[in-house]
Amino acid sequence: MKIHIPTPLRAYTDKQETVSVAGATVAEGLDELTKAFPAMRAHLFTPDGKLRSFVNVYLDDEDVRYLPAKEATAVAPEAELTIIPSIAGGCCSLPAAGCCRS
Amino acid sequence: MPATFEAPTATELPKLSNEEIARYSRHLILPEVGLEGQQKLKAAKVLCVGTGGLGAPLALYLAAAGIGTIGLVDFDVVDESNLQRQIIHSQSTVGKLKVDSAEIMLKGLNKNVNVIKHNTMLTSKNALEIFKDYDVIADGTDNFQTRYLVNDACVLTGKPNAYGSIFRFEGQASVFATEEGPCYRCLYPEPPPPGLVPSCAEGGVLGILPGLVGVIQATEVIKLILGIGEPLVGRLLLVDALNMGFRTLKLRKNPNCPACGTHEIKELIDYDQFCGIAPPTSTGPLEVSSHGNVDASANVVDGIAQITVEEYKARLDKGDKPFLLDVREPHEYQIVNLGAPLIPVGQIGSRLNEIPVSKDTEIVVQCKSGGRSQKAALELKAAGFTNVKNLAGGITAWADRIDTSLPKY
């Protein structure tokens, strides 16, 4: 399957936008991804191995959290996973100033 | 129509003058807008939270389209570095309050628009009071605290939120908090911990990207007011400017969402605390973390001693130079540096063997403004280095207070 990597996490995939991995389920695909790029692991999973709640994973255009089998959902080889992180940017300007202190 | 916004009936709508009819003729001849649609736009009140990268094109297009009342929330002043993307401000308004600068541009574009300036930081104390007078809220802020604040205030007041967000080359847009659609918390139940996601001030942003995303927000605002088309309710639009890719993903309303599902959030909370960051301080040198300020006047933060640029300079003057390590990116090092060896923060873990000093030697870690160096210092400490300090405020503080000949970026 192909996994789309969002900009903030590309620092951990040698700047690759997409990574192709083997794996029969969503969980296996993510596992392969973090084996290939170990620094990603802490960004995607909690220390006890659960997907972090601010990271959304989509199988094609469906949120994995709402699929009946969740991360155990089977993934076809041509399917695409997309990792959607929280991003907050919008009006950033000076450090320690601004409409929102960023 | 999925939107909750209820437009006034035709009899209550304000009349258009002949001048307005001529001005908006390209709208009036569109059957989907027409005279009544233009009157709805004139009657509408839209609040832009933030007049920065997203708020700039958003407010400009809303003014041009004939939105009757535009509210602006911002407490910043215009800086020259804003002008790379914040096209509502200009060279001549550098140093002015952003709400004043934006008003000049909006009034210059359309004299009919009523601009209401809220020169304040949006907080849990004032958000509901400010929101209640508006029909649609457009969130163009840049930190997680305000994102959750705007969301919860929209859910509590029943106002739709035309949402946009950007980072580097990537954008997101949606319409949250309509009656039947999901809210921001349905998508992101919890904020990331501080330090995990860099801010634009640290990560940069392509100047045209907020233009693209802000105009998408403006489009959604106008559709909500006119009641036409399919707003981005229950959908998240992803924009990738590098490959010019646009994708939409389905969003679900979470029945267990504490804001719009179970409604257990009945009032606004402390969003700094919710996002795990210290509230801003008005004294002491401030350094920027991923999405908030860390009070560097505290000498030790998370077990890392903080050294000010003045203290570091005094050490240099005494000939007692500690080992300095720069943890920024190579392209930043090219702009300005203090001559220190460079290991980007993301590579510290795998390049520990390149640090040419013993683990008990004093190391001062430096970045742009003190956030990433703090993170790197923590990593070094965890790797067994016993005397690691963070240069508070980074090279920006050095350029501000020690060597003012250096460029700041």
pTM assigned to the model = 0.81
Q: Across residues B224-243, what is the average pLDDT?
A: 96
Please check whether residue B70 is in contact with residue B114, taking contact to mean a CB–CB distance below 8 angstroms.
Answer: yes
- Where is mean pLDDT largest: A44-48, B11-15, B402-406? B402-406
d(CA B338, CA B366): 9
Is A47 near chain B, with CB under 8 Å?
no
CATH 3.40.250.10 residue ranges for chain B: 286-401
- Asked whether the CA dihedral B277, B281, B287, B292 is positive or negative, the reply is positive
Is A86 near chain B, with CB under 8 Å?
yes
Is A74 near chain B, with CB under 8 Å?
no
What is the DSSP track for B106-117?
HHHH-TT-EEEE
CATH 3.40.50.720 residue ranges for chain B: 10-274
Q: Which residue of A has its CA nearest to B199?
A: A89
B238 interaction partners in chain A (CB closer than 8 Å): 82, 84
Predicted confidence (pLDDT) per residue in B39-97, tens digit: 999 999 999 999 999 999 999 999 999 999 999 999 999 999 999 999 999 999 999 99
> Of the candidates A7, A93, A101, which has its C-beta nearest B280's C-beta?
A101
Q: Across residues B300-324, what is the average pLDDT?
A: 94
Q: Residues of B numbered 16-45 whose beta carbons fall under 8 angstroms of chain A's beta carbons: which are they?
A: none
**Which pLDDT belongs to residue B277?**
74
- Fold classification of B10-274 is Rossmann fold (3.40.50)
**Which pLDDT belongs to residue B287?**
28
Predicted confidence (pLDDT) per residue in B95-134, tens digit: 999 999 999 999 999 999 999 999 999 999 999 999 999 9
- Residue A58: which of A68, A45, A67 has the closest Cα? A67
> Of the candidates B77, B164, B191, which has its C-beta nearest A54's C-beta?
B191
**ipTM > 0.90 (yes/no):** no
Predicted confidence (pLDDT) per residue in B141-194, tens digit: 988 899 999 999 999 999 999 999 998 889 999 999 999 999 999 999 888 776
- Residue B377: which of B368, B388, B367 has the closest Cα? B388
Q: Do B243 and A17 touch (CB under 8 A)?
A: yes
* Domain annotation for chain A: domains and CATH numbers: 2-85 (3.10.20.30)
**Which pLDDT belongs to residue B220?**
98
**Which pLDDT belongs to residue B285?**
28
Q: How is residue A78 annotated by DSSP?
A: T
Q: Taking 90 as the threshold, does the pLDDT of residue A12 lie above it?
A: no
d(CA B257, CA B277): 23
Helices (DSSP H) in B135-294: which residue ranges? Answer: 144-157, 184-187, 200-203, 209-226, 271-274
Confidence grade of residue A91 (pLDDT, cut at 50, 70, 90)? very low
**Which pLDDT belongs to residue B205?**
85
Q: Taking 80 as the threshold, does the pLDDT of residue B37 lie above it?
A: yes
Q: Taking 70 as the threshold, does the pLDDT of residue B391 lie above it?
A: yes
Q: How is residue A27 annotated by DSSP?
A: H
Q: Taking 90 as the threshold, does the pLDDT of residue B283 lie above it?
A: no
Beta strand B136-139 with B161-167 is parallel
CATH 3.60.15.10 correct for B286-401: no
d(CA B49, CA B118): 9
- Chain-centre distance of CA B89, in angstroms? 17
A51 interaction partners in chain B (CB closer than 8 Å): none
Is A45 near chain B, with CB under 8 Å?
no
Confidence grade of residue A39 (pLDDT, cut at 50, 70, 90)? confident
**Which pLDDT belongs to residue A47?**
87
Predicted confidence (pLDDT) per residue in B342-388, tens digit: 999 988 988 999 999 999 999 999 999 998 999 999 999 999 999 99
**Which pLDDT belongs to residue B190?**
85
> Of the candidates A11, A17, A62, which has its C-beta nearest B250's C-beta?
A62
Q: Across residues B200-213, what is the average pLDDT?
A: 83
For chain B, what is the mean pLDDT? Answer: 90
For chain A, what is the mean pLDDT? Answer: 82
Distances from the Cα of B288 to the Cα of B49, B139, B292, angstroms: 21, 22, 6
**Which pLDDT belongs to residue B295?**
45
- Collapsing DSSP to helix, strand or coil, B96 comes out as coil
Q: Residues of B numbered 116-155 whose beta carbons fall under 8 angstroms of chain A's beta carbons: which are they?
A: 121-122, 139-147
- Collapsing DSSP to helix, strand or coil, A51 comes out as strand
Q: Taking 60 as the threshold, does the pLDDT of residue B280 lie above it?
A: no
A87 interaction partners in chain B (CB closer than 8 Å): 165-167, 170, 172, 197
| Nearest-CA distance B11 → chain A (Å) | 38
**Which pLDDT belongs to residue B200?**
55
**Which pLDDT belongs to residue B8?**
65
Q: Residues of B numbered 198-227 whose beta carbons fall under 8 angstroms of chain A's beta carbons: which are they?
A: 198-201, 203, 205, 210
d(CA B189, CA B183): 10
**Which pLDDT belongs to residue A90?**
59
d(CA B136, CA B226): 12
Q: Across residues B266-286, what is the average pLDDT?
A: 67
Confidence grade of residue B10 (pLDDT, cut at 50, 70, 90)? low
Q: Across residues B199-226, what is the average pLDDT?
A: 89
The percent of residues in chain B predicted with pLDDT above 70, rounded, is 90
| Nearest-CA distance B190 → chain A (Å) | 6
Q: Across residues A10-31, what is the average pLDDT?
A: 92
**Which pLDDT belongs to residue B224?**
98
